[in-house]
Structure 1
Amino acid sequence: MEKAKISVIQLFAMMFMFELGSALVVSYGVTARKDAWLAILLGLCGGIALFFIYYALFRQYPNLPLTGYTRKIFGKYVGWIIGLSYTIYFLYNTARILRDFGDLLLSSTLPQTPLLAINILMILTICYVLYLGIEVLGRTAEVFIVILISLGLIGNLFVYLSGNINLSNLQPFLENGWKPIVTTAFPITTFFPFGQMLVFTMLLPYLNRPESVKKVWLSAIISSAFFLSYTTSLDIAVLSVEEVERSTFPLLSTIRTVDLFEFIQRLDAVVVFTLLITMFFKASILLYGAIIGIIDLFKLKNHQQIMLPMGVISLLLSMVIASNFAEHIEEGLDIMMYSLHLPFMVIMPLFMLLVSMIRNGFKKKDRSKSNVT
């Protein structure tokens, strides 16, 4: 693995922007309609529960990535196969993020540009930064989180000044009862994006203060959850829930309503640049997680020799996973939730934790017996 360290602030910045990702601009949690904000906060509770599973595994193997302790828990061969499965899973998620980004640019600002050209530029930028190492990615995150917050403040200011917010669009509370809220929170808003933080188990060995993992991780997911909940509420308050349901990218539609003095209009660039930042870091972290897995499993000397091949694979996957954006979204909501996210985010980590606790329990008994004799 790369001989590098990242600071607590850098890890928080990466986690925060990773969580926002594409969830910031898509119709996130809108299946709960006007109570989407509550479904996101309930999903946060599920995300915190998943965190404690991942954190318990990290505490037992603080110097190993996820692919390292799968082999410790399940043995050399079975653990290797499970670790490879996680690596492929992270690579597939990278491809989905690339597709999200390309489709947004196509629909918003570059309708005549080929999707392949957009994705090539994105993956080349990601590969260049990752080639320089995790420390460079961490320092870049420190800079861009400030830019991201500034863009958010500017965009919100213009939306408020435009006078398009109608709080009655958020009423009545619990219009359709608790069922749509709970079914939206579990599993949709729990797995996406909170469960996707699983990839950080590949990066935690790089943290210079491992004892701060719990504080940083929890603060990142809680702050991002409130940010996403607020953004979804703002979209509904400006557009109405019906229009948010119809819109592919509600935040883009919200910012387009800004019209001040017939001069300040068409602020699409604010949303596009925001998405560019969040999607860049999300795709970078997922790709780097996959690269760390390959290095760990195949005992390679450094990450630079496989950087471009892994980038090319994720690029090709992003082009073939779906024929259009509607199919891409349907695949993410209907297929991935139960066939991929559930086993990789919940079932396997829980099983690993259970096996690890049993193995450690037997080791302690053996030690106590040897001490007695």
Structure 2
Amino acid sequence: MEKAKISTHQLFVLIVLFELGSAILVPLAVEAKQNAWLAILIGLSGGLCLFLIYYALFSYYPDIPLTEYLQKILGSFVGKILAFFYILYFIYISARVLRDFGELLITVFFPESPLFIMNALMIIVVVYTIRKGIEVLARTGELIFIIIALLGISGFILISISGSMHISNLQPVLEEGLRPVLKTAFTTLYFPFGEIIVFTMIFPFLNKPEKVMKTGLYGLGLSGMILALIMTINISVLGVSLLSRTQFPLLSTIQTIELAGFLERLDVTFMLSSVFAGFFKLGVFFYASVEGTTNLFQIKESSVLVYPMGFIVLLLSILIASNFSEHVYKGLEVAPLYIHLPFQLVIPLFLLLIAFIKNRKGKDEGMKVN
């Protein structure tokens, strides 16, 4: 493992930026219509439960990452195979996040630029940062967090006083009952909240491991409430009909701001916030894939992997979908059931059960010896 330590504050900042990431781009939980905010909060509650599973595993093996304690729980052979699949999972999500922000930039801001170039520019910055280590990523997060917070608060105030919000767009609540909301919450459980499983690769670097649970729950809870608030604002400004047809709803919401005939076209604030948040989500997933590969194959220096793995993520980001609509469909409809469900819920629960049995057996044997 890398010889590095991060503080609880830095972990909190990384979690919040990570969870906002690409979730602020897409029409999250739009299938629940005007109840999207409720679906997000229900998904958040499930995400908090998933986090407790990951924390329980960490409490059994506080000094090693996921890819290493898989081998201790399942044995060397099976554990290494499963660790390899988790690395592939982290690489795949890295590519998805990179594609998200490449599509945003070429669709809205640089329509004449090739997707490959936009993705290449972002992955170069991420590769450079990750090569410096987790401490540099965490310290950078502290600065960017303040910038995003100021931009977010300013945007909320401007939208509120611009007169664009219409509370009637949020009504009626639960018009079709709770079932459609719960169905939609299933999607938000895995994206974005369940993706916090990637932090099982980062928890061992915390300088105060006893505060992992509190820090994680606070970070996850705050990001969930922010996402619910953003979706509430989007619905109240755009309405359900327009929201469902918009690729980037938060951008459309910000574009409605107009004050005193001169304060308008604040697209740049959205671009800065989204690109910054996307950088950290991509950075965390990419770091986990590099660190996991280093750990699994016993490579002395992780820096030798950064550039080739960055190139793999770049190529995969182009190849995973032929267009943006297909990319979004796979991310919101296919990935939750066939990719996120096993890696975020089924396998961790199975690991926790075996770890519990092993540790319980070890305690019982120790008591017998005494």
Pairing of 1:26-37 with structure 2 (within 5 A): 26-37=26-37
Checking the alignment, whether the CA contact within 8 Å between 1:27 and 1:249 is kept in structure 2 is yes
Checking the alignment, whether the CA contact within 8 Å between 1:34 and 1:175 is kept in structure 2 is no
Cα distance in 2 for residues equivalent to 1:150 and 1:333: 30
Q: CA deviation at 1:369?
A: 2.3
Cα distance in 2 for residues equivalent to 1:118 and 1:329: 18
Gaps of 5+ in 1: none
- What secondary structure, in the 3-state scheme, does the structure 1 residue paired with 2:67 have? helix
Cα distance in 1 for residues equivalent to 2:206 and 2:27: 34
Cα distance in 2 for residues equivalent to 1:22 and 1:95: 12
Q: CA deviation at 1:161?
A: 2.2
**Which deviates the most, 280-289 or 17-26?**
17-26
Match of 1:85 in 2: 85
- What secondary structure, in the 3-state scheme, does the structure 1 residue paired with 2:110 have? coil
Match of 2:153 in 1: 153
Pairing of 1:128-147 with structure 2 (within 5 A): 128-147=128-147
Cα distance in 2 for residues equivalent to 1:333 and 1:169: 24
Q: CA deviation at 1:333?
A: 2.0
**Is it true that 1:332 corresponds to 2:331 in the alignment?**
yes
- What secondary structure, in the 3-state scheme, does the structure 1 residue paired with 2:174 have? coil
Q: CA deviation at 1:300?
A: 0.9
Q: CA RMSD in A?
A: 0.8
Cα distance in 1 for residues equivalent to 2:332 and 2:233: 23
After superposition, give the CA deviation of every residue in 1:98-155 in whole Å (9 maximum; x if it has no partner): 0000001111111111000000000000011111111111100000000000110121
Checking the alignment, whether the CA contact within 8 Å between 1:24 and 1:251 is kept in structure 2 is yes
Match of 2:19 in 1: 19
Cα distance in 2 for residues equivalent to 1:137 and 1:74: 32
Checking the alignment, whether the CA contact within 8 Å between 1:40 and 1:185 is kept in structure 2 is yes
Cα distance in 2 for residues equivalent to 1:102 and 1:212: 36
Match of 1:301 in 2: 300
Cα distance in 2 for residues equivalent to 1:250 and 1:362: 52
- The TM-score, its normalising length taken from structure 1, stands at 0.98
Q: CA deviation at 1:88?
A: 0.6
After superposition, give the CA deviation of every residue in 1:2-26 in whole Å (9 maximum; x if it has no partner): 1110111111110000000111121
Gaps of 5+ in 2: none
Checking the alignment, whether the CA contact within 8 Å between 1:295 and 1:303 is kept in structure 2 is yes
Pairing of 1:279-358 with structure 2 (within 5 A): 279-358=278-357
Cα distance in 2 for residues equivalent to 1:159 and 1:8: 33
Cα distance in 1 for residues equivalent to 2:261 and 2:115: 33
Cα distance in 2 for residues equivalent to 1:171 and 1:338: 30
Pairing of 1:45-60 with structure 2 (within 5 A): 45-60=45-60
The amino acid that maps onto 1:329 is V
Cα distance in 1 for residues equivalent to 2:353 and 2:268: 48
- What secondary structure, in the 3-state scheme, does the structure 2 residue paired with 1:208 have? coil
Q: CA deviation at 1:347?
A: 0.4
- What secondary structure, in the 3-state scheme, does the structure 2 residue paired with 1:2 have? coil
Cα distance in 2 for residues equivalent to 1:114 and 1:275: 20
Match of 1:189 in 2: 188
The amino acid that maps onto 1:29 is A
- Identical counterparts, % of pairs: 46
Cα distance in 1 for residues equivalent to 2:362 and 2:161: 64
After superposition, give the CA deviation of every residue in 1:39-66 in whole Å (9 maximum; x if it has no partner): 0000011001101110100000000100
Checking the alignment, whether the CA contact within 8 Å between 1:256 and 1:266 is kept in structure 2 is yes
Cα distance in 2 for residues equivalent to 1:203 and 1:116: 29
Checking the alignment, whether the CA contact within 8 Å between 1:159 and 1:258 is kept in structure 2 is yes
Cα distance in 2 for residues equivalent to 1:332 and 1:220: 23
- What secondary structure, in the 3-state scheme, does the structure 2 residue paired with 1:322 have? coil
- What secondary structure, in the 3-state scheme, does the structure 1 residue paired with 2:6 have? coil
After superposition, give the CA deviation of every residue in 1:216-239 in whole Å (9 maximum; x if it has no partner): 000001101110000000000001
Q: CA deviation at 1:90?
A: 0.3
The amino acid that maps onto 1:160 is S
Cα distance in 2 for residues equivalent to 1:84 and 1:76: 12
- What secondary structure, in the 3-state scheme, does the structure 2 residue paired with 1:165 have? coil
After superposition, give the CA deviation of every residue in 1:289-341 in whole Å (9 maximum; x if it has no partner): 01110011011112211111111000000000000000001111222111110
**Which deviates the most, 155-164 or 215-224?**
155-164
